[in-house]
Amino acid sequence: MVASELSQAPDGLIGGYTGGSLPVRILMIVFSSIALYNAIELFILLFLTFQHYRGLYFWTLLLSVVLGVIPHTIGYILEFFALAPLWLCLTMSTIGFYVMVPGQSVVLYSRLHLVVQSHRILRFVLWLIIIDAVLLLIPTTVLTFSTAYVGTLPIIRGYNVMERLQLAWFCAQEFVISGIYISETVKLLRLMPDKDHRRTKIMYELLAINFVIIMLDVALLVVEYIGYYSLQTTLKPMVYSIKLKLEFGVLGKLVSLVQTHRSQPTSSEHEEYPNFVDPTQFTTDVTHAAPVESRRSRGMGAWNNISMESLPSSEQRIRPSTRSRLSSDGDDPS
């Protein structure tokens, strides 16, 4: 970026888009339309997918759509085509940026605990997001409104530099979080059974999704640094809406991976028992005998407990009626 370009106010920030390029105008409308479509679809999917509307992941994803992608997209469309007052357009796009871009990092952070066991790493990522948001958002906001309403040469230069620095920094932050996620996921996959062929498939699917997310960030950086401000500002919400939709794929694969790792014993554990024994149904340490006093005190109750927990869920729902019958006969089912 040469000094002369840094001294010019971005086309579209003041007085709407003045360029006469029809393809650029068409692309701006296309990017914005895709972003709004993805946001609306993701909003519907959120309430159809989640059974309980709570948790950091759900609320961050919801706010990133409702208060992030949608106002950011509408704000810049109104600004570029001069359809609303400048203060309203800048306020909408700024609020949307506040929620959309750091919100993407918070979404990445909210699922890290599924694979990262180190509290030190989790605290590092959280403080990284908070500190970067404070250091980058406040100066950029001041320079944005100052460029629009003051427009002196130093302010314009400061805005152009800060705009590019901010975008590159947030992309680097997402690279770091995705890198931690990929590294820890690979470690988790290595702990799964050697005979589980799903691990290789899941690993490549997760890596492919994260690779697509990284490439979207790189494309955004390229458009920013070659000087297409109007395209970059409309491409940005589309890119973030796609990344948020990809989060559904990442989360689904990750939850499936973690549940499989926790529920399936290793192959060595399976080989310790005969084929007709299911070691996942054990509720006690069967490799060591319990003390004699403990066995006498539990009697048949312990056997009943093990049998109950070994039953499928459909049969466990029938068992309480049997318990009530035994209780009426004077026996203690526990």
Q: List pLDDT tens digits, range 307-324.
A: 444 344 444 444 444 444
Residue 91's pLDDT is 92
Query: Roughly what angle, to the nearest 10 degrees, separates helices 86-110 and 119-149?
Result: 170
Put residue 107 in one of left, alpha, beta given phi > 0 → left and psi -120 to 50 → alpha: alpha
Residue 5's pLDDT is 65
Check residues 46 and 188 and name the one with the higher pLDDT: 46
Residue 24's pLDDT is 83
- State the Cα torsion 68-226-137-217 to the nearest 10°: 50
Query: Roughly what angle, to the nearest 10 degrees, separates helices 198-225 and 229-263?
Result: 160
Query: Roughly what angle, to the nearest 10 degrees, separates helices 86-110 and 229-263?
Result: 20
* Amino acid code (one letter) for 254: L
Cα 19 from chain centroid (whole Å): 36
- State pTM to two decimals: 0.71
Residue 260's pLDDT is 56
User: Which tens digit of pLDDT belongs to each residue from 224-250?
Assistant: 888 788 888 889 999 999 988 887 777
Residues whose CB is less than 8 angstroms from the CB of residue 304 and which lie 6 or more positions away in sequence, other chains included: 333, 334
Tokens of 11: 């086309």
Residue 192's pLDDT is 62
In order of start, what are the domains of the chain with their CATH numbers?
A: 3-263 (1.20.1070), 290-328 (no CATH)
Residues whose CB is less than 8 angstroms from the CB of residue 22 and which lie 6 or more positions away in sequence, other chains included: none
User: Which tens digit of pLDDT belongs to each residue from 4-41?
Assistant: 567 776 766 666 676 667 888 888 899 999 999 999 99
pLDDT at residue 129 greater than cutoff 70: yes
Q: Give the start-end residues of each E strand in 128-167.
A: none
CB of 198 within 8 A of CB of 253? no
* Overall average pLDDT of the 157-178 stretch: 89
CA gap 174, 103 in Å, rounded: 11
